[in-house]
Amino acid sequence: MEHFALTAIFLFTLFLLLGTGVWVGLALLGVAFVGMELFTTRPGGDAMITTIWTTASSWSLTALPLFIWMGEILYRTRLSEDMFRGLSPWMARLPGGLVHTNIAGCTVFAAVSGSSAATLTTVGKMSIPELRKRGYPEHMVIGTLAGSATLGLMIPPSLTLIVYGVTINESISKLFIAGILPGLTLAALFMAYVAGWSFVRRSEVPPPEPRTSFSEKLAQSRFLIPVLLLVAFVIGSMYVGWATATEAASFGVIGSLILAMSQGSLTRETFIQSLLGALRTSCMIALILAGAAFLSLSMGFTGLPRALAEWIASLGLSPTVLILSLMVFYIVIGCFLDGISSVVLTMAVVEPMIRAAGIDVIWFGIFIVVVVEMAQITPPIGFNLFVLQGMTNHEMNYLAKVALPMFAMMVVMVFILIAFPDLATYLPDTMRTRPGG
């Protein structure tokens, strides 16, 4: 009974702070401070300072601002314009036609961005007008874009996986490599849905694009090929053990700067904008992580996570039932919190539960990214829906409805991960690592 009272106090304080508009990071610090002062004898201020410094000085965290900066640099290049022009000849003859450029474009940009919102904005600002001009139905244009943009959370470099890895002290490089096959599988599920739509509703599919020769396709892809090579080098350097995640991120920044210079889009103004954009995002995430670390410490002193883990264990749930219960749990809280906040807010309680159940933490990282992706397209706080509303002026209800098939594909992806766990664990088990990776 005592632990249920503690839980109620923690949750009441958290939702009171969040409801008054306090930043998530500050709300987490506030809840943790209240817990330390009310339920422990340790001075709350000293504990908070020590925890914040320890979290902020984590070497693993240095990969975060570098990967964010890499995405910011490429976001300000002509990549979005070149992306549609480079991908459309390869996608045009697939069942469903050029709608596949939404999925392929998001997959490519996800591999340089790590952010769902940046992926959505970059791909959407070029593909939406082009697909509308060619007569593709609005529900497919918007729905596939909303779902595919969530690949920015899965395909490395993923900001959510960096945050998860730092929170549970797991290898960032292994988490990145673990996200490759599930990310590509999810992209394939989205493309399968588009192909199914083209067969079921043939009348909605516009006439096919004119055929182009292989040499013409290569010529139109010439601006995309350097980006793909950069992605392959960044991810490959981690897989073969040449570089840690932080070192790979620095290679990515240098490569993206060279690409931007070669395109002529790197000016003094865009360089400063990319730096400031990376700084703002990094500071926001660092504050949330600091708050989450202090909350974990505070809850650890109260014994709440251990008590909840023991209570869950006493229910005798199988690992599969536990995973399905957590899926529903994360979908619900994802309706009210963004993905990174959902992860850091719950790990203090969830991590002991999954370790006690014998669930692989690398596999669980990929699972949690998939369910956090679902939260990006579920109202009322589905962030991708807000971005799309600003881009298209559609009603939120309409956006949620057209994104529903993509949500269903993500649910299917969860069951695929449960049925075939090696999909997430095979590559990390075979990779070479360097210390600090």
Which tokens is 432 given? 């070479």
Residue 226 zone, left/alpha/beta (φ > 0; ψ -120 to 50; rest): alpha
d(CA 317, CA 312): 7
- 207: exposed, middle or buried (Cβ count in 10 Å: 0-12, 13-18, 19+): exposed
The tokens describing 34, both together, are 């209240």
Distance CA 402, CA 138 (A): 9
Report the distance separating Cα 14 and Cα 187, nearest Å: 36
Helix (H, G, I), strand (E, B) or coil at 95: coil
- CA 210 to chain CA centroid, Å, is 36
Write down the pLDDT at residue 3.
56
**Token pair in block for residue 290:** 């600091």
Neighbours of 420 (CB within 10 A): 14
For residue 408, give Cα distances in angstroms to 123, 251, 378, 403.
Answer: 22, 37, 12, 9
Instruction: Evaluate whether 328 touches 293 at the Cβ level (below 8 Å).
Output: no
In whole angstroms, give the CA distance from residue 101 to residue 106. 8
Cα–Cα dist 410/417, whole Å:
10
Model pLDDT, residue 413 = 92
**Which residue is it, tokens 């392929």?**
104
Q: Which two tokens stand for residue 297?
A: 């410490």
What pLDDT, on a 0 to 100 scale, did the predictor assign at position 435?
52
Taking the C-alpha atoms of residue 102 and residue 83, their distance in angstroms, rounded to an integer, is 10
- Torsion sign (Cα): 26, 29, 31, 34: negative
Q: With contact defined as beta carbons under 8 Å apart, do 77 and 259 qualify? A: yes
Contact of 295 with 32, CB cutoff 8 Å: yes
What are the tokens at 2? Answer: 């005592």
Spell out the domain ranges in the chain. 2-16+24-430
Contacts of 423 (CB under 8 A, 6+ apart): 181, 182, 185, 416, 417
Is the bond into 380 cis (omega within 30 degrees of 0)? yes
DSSP labels, 359-392: --HHHHHHHHHHHHHHHTTSSSS-HHHHHHHHHH
Count H helices and E strands in the chain, helices first.
22, 0
Beta-carbon contacts of 121 under 8 Å, excluding residues fewer than 6 positions away, are 75, 387, 391
Which pLDDT belongs to residue 241? 77
- SS3 category, 221: coil
**CA separation, residue 43 to residues 32, 305, 360 (Å):** 12, 21, 35
- List all residues 6 or more positions away from 330 whose beta carbon is below 8 Å from its beta carbon: 342, 346, 368, 371, 372, 374, 375
Query: How would DSSP label each residue in 96-158?
Result: TGGGHHHHHHHHHHHHHH--HHHHHHHHHHHHHHHHHHTT--HHHHHHHHHHHGGGGGTSSSP
From first to last of the 437 residues of the chain, give the pLDDT tens digit: 455 566 666 667 766 776 676 776 777 777 777 777 776 666 767 777 777 777 666 666 777 788 778 878 877 777 666 777 777 777 777 888 788 888 888 888 777 776 677 777 777 777 888 888 888 888 888 888 888 888 877 888 777 888 888 888 888 888 888 988 998 999 999 999 999 998 888 888 787 777 777 777 777 777 777 878 888 888 888 777 788 778 888 888 888 888 888 877 788 888 888 888 888 877 877 777 777 777 767 766 666 666 666 666 677 778 888 888 888 888 877 766 667 777 877 787 788 888 878 889 999 999 998 888 887 787 666 667 777 777 787 887 888 888 889 889 999 999 999 999 999 988 888 866 555 55
DSSP code of residue 196: H
Alpha helices by DSSP H, listed for 212-267, are 214-220, 224-239, 245-263
**Closest C-alpha among 155, 151, 152 to residue 179:** 155
Diameter of the chain measured on Cα atoms: 74
